[in-house]
Amino acid sequence: MKVRDIASLLSADVVGNKDTQITGVGTIEKAKSDELTFVANKKYEKFLPTTNAGCIIVDSAVDIEKYKDKTFIICKDAYFCFAQVLRTLFAFKQKEPMISKNASIKESAKIDTTCRIEDFVFIDDNVTIGKNTTIMPFVYIGENTTIGENCIIYPSVTIRENSVIGNDVIIHSGSVIGSDGFGYAQTKENNHIKIPQVGNVVIEDGVEIGSNVSIDRAALDSTIIKKGAKIDNLVQIAHNVEIGENTLVIAQTGISGSTKIGKNVILAGQTGIAGHINIADGVIITAKSGVGSNVKKAGIYSGIPIYEHSKWLRNSVVVTKLGEMYKKIKELEKEIEELKKI
């Protein structure tokens, strides 16, 4: 695309050569003369004098007056605009519709003629798959499952029985949707008796699930991932959890059973959440934090157990000085003992 075409796509202004041909993208340090890059963080502005990029997307706040030899696209949010370009240039393109002869599909399954079902897929009884959905090799889809339109299911995904998956859902390799919830009853002899998990998983429209994610089916009712939520790799979501709209769950987070998470929440990496609690809309939990009780209002929280992030930062500074403080206390105790003797 020419720079003018990219700017038109973004409804943005161009400063420089509008006819520069762009054939790829790159980082600001390594981009070539036919590649597009962006600057969304001030610390990367230092590379503007030396970058070879054919065009640079920048925020309107960036001072470009001293770079007369370069071409810029000016917009309000450079990062978002760059993402829009990538979505246009590198959007997933479904291959021709087909159903592989090497797939195993029960007669009662209903698969739209626009779907692509690749080798060694297993589709059980009464499965329904909507328009333009791609199911890649070695995917298992259990009975009575519904999958909507324009979904992409990558290789080696397991979707257990009775799952409901909406439109425009992406599930990456190795993930398991609808595995049994971790539910056991303990006997007087301390044996653990498995409680059948008879609910299901509901994944609403526009959800993306990373690789090697496990989402357990509900003991009763449904485990629900609401529309627009994004789940990173290696996340565990237990039975009867509800994750709100547009919430982000980052890698290695574990969410215990029956927890309700609001919309627009961010759970950073390795967050641990206890069961049967509620987290309000707009909450941000920072990495490696532990949530053991309800979070009732929006804000940023850190620590184990969590508390306000600003207080956690101040306390973290104190922690680094505990050794010195301990030494000082010992010295003061010694002085007090000597004063008592006097």
CATH architecture of the domain covering 98-312: 3 Solenoid (2.160)
pLDDT digits (tens, 9 = 90+) for 118-129: 999 999 999 999
Q: Are strands 55-59 and 35-39 parallel, antiparallel or unpaired?
A: parallel
CATH architecture of the domain covering 3-89: 3-Layer(aba) Sandwich (3.40)
pTM (predicted TM-score) = 0.90
Closest CA relative to residue 135, chosen from 177, 176, 103: 103
DSSP 8-state class, residue 295 = B
Closest CA relative to residue 107, chosen from 127, 137, 130: 127
**283's tokens:** 């909450």
Domain boundaries for CATH 2.160.10.10 within the chain: 98-312
Q: Are strands 192-194 and 184-186 parallel, antiparallel or unpaired?
A: antiparallel
Domain boundaries for CATH 3.40.1390.10 within the chain: 3-89
Residue 89 — pLDDT band, cuts 50, 70, 90? confident
DSSP 8-state class, residue 196 = P
Active site residue: 192, 239, 276, 309, which one?
A: 239
pLDDT at residue 59 is higher than 90: yes
pLDDT digits (tens, 9 = 90+) for 132-187: 999 999 999 999 999 999 999 999 999 999 999 999 999 999 999 999 999 999 99
Residue 213 — pLDDT band, cuts 50, 70, 90? very high
Buried b (16+ CB within 10 A) or exposed e, 11-34: ebebbbebebebeebbebeebeee
For residue 228, the model assigns a pLDDT of: 98
Q: Return the H-helix or E-strand segment holding 8.
A: helix 3-10
pLDDT at residue 53 is higher than 90: yes
Q: Which amino acid is at 178?
A: G
Residue 91 — pLDDT band, cuts 50, 70, 90? confident
**Using CA atoms, how far apart are residues 101 and 117, in angstroms rounded to an integer?**
9
Q: Is-catalytic flag, 239?
A: yes
For residue 294, the model assigns a pLDDT of: 98
CB burial of residue 216 (10 Å; 0-12, 13-18, 19+): buried
